[in-house]
Amino acid sequence: MMRRFRQYIDGEFVDAARSFESIDPATGDAWSLMPEADAADVDRAVTAAHRALHDLSWSGLTPTARGRLLYRLGDLLEEQAQALAELETRDTGKVIRETSAQVAYIAEYYRYFGGLADKIEGAHLAVDKPDMEVYLRREPIGVVAAVVPWNSQLFLAAVKIGPALAAGCTVVVKASEDGPAPLLEFAQLVDQAGFPPGVVNIITGFGDPCGQRLTSHPLVSRIAFTGGPETARHVVRNSAENLSHVTLELGGKSPVLVFDDADLDNACNAIIAGIFAASGQSCVAGSRLLVQNSIHDTLVSMLSERVGKIKIGDPSDPATEMGPLATARQHRKAVEVIQSSVKAGAVLTAGGKVPPGHERGFYLEPTILQCPNNDIPCSREELFAPVLSVMRFDTEADGIAFANDTCFALAAGIFTNDLRRAHRLIRSVKAGVVWVNTYRAISPVVPFGGFGWSGLGREGGRESVMEYTRPKAVWINSSTCPFPDPFIMR
């Protein structure tokens, strides 16, 4: 008997009319049944969220009380972190050593946003009209459609659900059809935390019709989307129907620049973290390594040696460092791009194949390709796979030019011990997040996001809560004089 998951709509756990099988990426076998939300399920979830938005059981709560609910959710998540991490590992193939740490840390996000709920402040405005008192209220923006991709669904949902609820909005979350188990299970915690019915709804189904219907629904006021640029364009077109607000967290082709004065042991480990952790399935993957000429050969041989020692295997084994890719589709794409890159002139320095003994499931060796220029497929396309493109550069200006030669602008890594150079690079490099002598560090306190093909808006940090509010300007006339000439604007 396969485990059957249900969706969470209006405070109830319900089946969908149809279901689909979820695949264990470590074996390629189906292991559970997921509800396949159709347009009617989406309508039910959005209608519930819309009703809950105005229901006094939610809208009548003080911001402090909303914050307390978020705190409670964080605590419950912390208690259940290991069980949720195991589900994420089973359903996505992400290794347990990463999911255990990541899921436990998500509790801090809910607590952070809970703490912000009663710090959403309006303003008193000093207008140039002496009889007028003018102030700005911040009100919840409305029903939020949160759409997440298959990697890190719990985390990517938290950076949407947390600020939305802190601001007093209600939410419909669409989990990806790939690996939705942990997010559907998380609904149990939302229920236990005591949110009124309809405040949080969690469904899953295919991009079309489920995501399509959700992001074009007339009762949705705000879309928070994480995914690829192609889908993002659909989402923006859908948002045009209702002129809803949109934030987009999209992909990257992030450069990591290593200069000849850098600490190479530190750089080597950070590069591994950037591209081989999570089998490269991370939006901030440092997939383009740019190395200054004089240290190029040394660093590449250090990396090749370390890559050869990466422990590939069962993602549920705490000793495993790299598991499978999440889907057969991802695996196929990565292999195709490796082959087309070699044809285009890249030199395979490590990996490139299915690791021996791992023919079942969607495993791929950690791969290093040395590229003669930036026009090789692996240095242009976001792969979402453990594939590192390496290029050499001579001067600082060449390094910056290579780094910025991409449509994406999400993250960048800079490795140098020269403080003046670090500051020059920080200013010049095209990215929403820059890490200096480190990589892949995150915190709820820090706004995250990119620009260009990497997206619009930020998640995390104080400002992200404001993005779930809308300002209302209030004018109060304190004068006892009669209304002046009605044909002149005051």
Which positions lie near ligand NDP, rule CB under 6 A?
A: 147-151, 156, 174, 176-178, 206-208, 211-212, 215, 226-228, 231, 234-235, 249-251, 283, 382, 384, 410, 455
What's the min distance (Å) between Cβ of 356 and ligand NDP? 28
User: Which phi and psi angles does 396 have, rounded to 5°?
Assistant: -60, -40
Check 283, 365, 371, 378 and give the catalytic one: 283
Which residue number, 31 or 139, has a Cβ lying nearer to ligand NDP?
Answer: 31
Check 88, 249, 365, 467 and give the catalytic one: 249
- 369: which strand partners? 348, 389
What's the min distance (Å) between Cβ of 209 and ligand NDP? 9
Which residue number, 58 or 276, has a Cβ lying nearer to ligand NDP?
Answer: 276
What's the min distance (Å) between Cβ of 210 and ligand NDP? 7
Which residue number, 234 or 462, has a Cβ lying nearer to ligand NDP?
Answer: 234
Which residue number, 75 or 381, has a Cβ lying nearer to ligand NDP?
Answer: 381
- 157: which strand partners? none
What's the min distance (Å) between Cβ of 381 and ligand NDP? 10
The first and second tokens of residue 225, run together, are 């989307």
CA distance 183 to 153: 6
Which residue number, 211 or 399, has a Cβ lying nearer to ligand NDP?
Answer: 211
Which residue number, 351 or 457, has a Cβ lying nearer to ligand NDP?
Answer: 457
Active site residue 381: no
3-class secondary structure for the chain?
CCEECCEEECCEEECCCEEEEEEECCCCEEEEEEEECCHHHHHHHHHHHHHHHHCHHHHCCCHHHHHHHHHHHHHHHHHCHHHHHHHHHHHHCCCHHHHHHHHHHHHHHHHHHHHHHHHCCCEEECCCCCCEEEEEEEEECCEEEEECCCCCHHHHHHHHHHHHHHCCCEEEEEECCCCCHHHHHHHHHHHHHCCCCCCEEEEECCHHHHHHHHHCCCCEEEEEEECCHHHHHHHHHHHHHHCCEEEEECCCCCEEEECCCCCHHHHHHHHHHHHCHHHHCCCCCCCEEEEEHHHHHHHHHHHHHHHHCCCECCCCCCCCCECCCCCHHHHHHHHHHHHHHHHCCCEEEECCCCCCCCCCCCCCCCEEEECCCCCCHHHHCCCCCCEEEEEEECCHHHHHHHHHCCCEECEEEEECCCHHHHHHHHHHCCCCEEEECCCCCCCCCCCECCEECCEECCECCHHHHHCCEEEEEEEEECCCCCCCCCCCCC
What's the min distance (Å) between Cβ of 281 and ligand NDP? 8
Which residue number, 149 or 168, has a Cβ lying nearer to ligand NDP?
Answer: 149
Which residue number, 197 or 455, has a Cβ lying nearer to ligand NDP?
Answer: 455
Long-range interactions of 132-136: CB distance < 8 A, separation 24+: 132/475, 132/476, 132/477, 132/478, 133/475, 133/476, 133/478, 134/473, 134/474, 134/475, 134/476, 135/473, 135/474, 136/471, 136/472, 136/473, 136/474
What's the min distance (Å) between Cβ of 231 and ligand NDP? 3
What's the min distance (Å) between Cβ of 56 and ligand NDP? 32
> Could you tell me which of 148, 161, 150 has the C-alpha nearest to residue 225?
148
Which residue number, 208 or 265, has a Cβ lying nearer to ligand NDP?
Answer: 208
What's the min distance (Å) between Cβ of 61 and ligand NDP? 29
Active site residue 283: yes
CA distance 50 to 217: 11
What's the min distance (Å) between Cβ of 287 and ligand NDP? 10
Annotated catalytic residues are: 249, 283
